[in-house]
Structure 1
Amino acid sequence: MTPEFVIGFARQSIELALMLALPMLGVGLAVGVFVSVIQAATQIQEMTLSFIPKIVSIFIALLFSFPWLMERMVTFTRDVFINIPNYVR
């Protein structure tokens, strides 16, 4: 294994991890900003008011994006397992 291969493999792994986290993080960010604006407008500063909607929206985003997430993870894992003989050389 060359240093370039290791760096490329690590980069590909990190990109995949970020891509898999993006839908949930984006939804959580959008809902968090929306709830914060509502809280600022109504002056209601309850912690559960910001926490519960984010958890529910992230869970819904996970349910909708789960097939795509699994397809990406299975493809990456399959490629890693198929190329193990090439990696050992």
Structure 2
Amino acid sequence: MIAHLAGHLAGHLAGHLVGMELTDTAIISIALKTMLVAFKLSAPILATSLVIGFTISLFQSMTQIQEFTLAFVPKVIGVGIALLVCGNWMLHTMVTFTQQLFESIPSLLS
């Protein structure tokens, strides 16, 4: 549900690229939209890593176990699961944004 809404929002943001002229405002707008899409794509991975890292750090501080692999292995597994769950949405978001950006090139150059 969330991935569908975020994908729809990214497509909606990219839809505003069509029909623009190449001005400094258009360049800034494209850069902003690109950064927003990049943030949306990285958010599930970063959030997963943050939650797992915080949980493991809390466990390590309570038990006073200071082992690097205890934090590393769960993060790798969690990020892998997050990629499996969100990968389809991430790919759809990237493809939609890129297609709409490429479709806007002729109007930007005219």
**TM-score bin, normalised by smaller chain:** over 0.9
Partner of 2:13: none
Displacement of 1:9 after TM fit?
0.3
Q: How does 1:38-57 map to 2 (within 5 A)?
A: 38-57=59-78
Greater fraction of residues in helix = 1
Normalised to the residue count of structure 1, the TM-score between the two structures is 0.96
Identity, % of aligned pairs? 38
Question: Does 1:26 pair with 2:47?
Answer: yes
Q: Could you say which residue in structure 1 is the equivalent of 2:15?
A: none
TM-score when normalising by structure 2:
0.79
- Runs of at least 5 residues in structure 1 that lack an aligned partner in the other structure: none
Counterparts of 1:6 and 1:82, CA distance in 2: 15
| Equivalence for 1:12 | 33
The one-letter amino acid paired with 1:7 is I
Q: Which residue of 1 aligns with 2:87?
A: 66
**Greater RCO, 1 or 2 (C-alpha within 8 Å, sep 6+):** 2
Cα separation, 1, equivalents of 2:38 and 2:70: 29
Query: Following superposition, which runs of at least 4 residues in structure 1 exceed 2 angstroms of deviation?
Result: none
Is the partner of 2:73 in helix, strand or coil?
helix
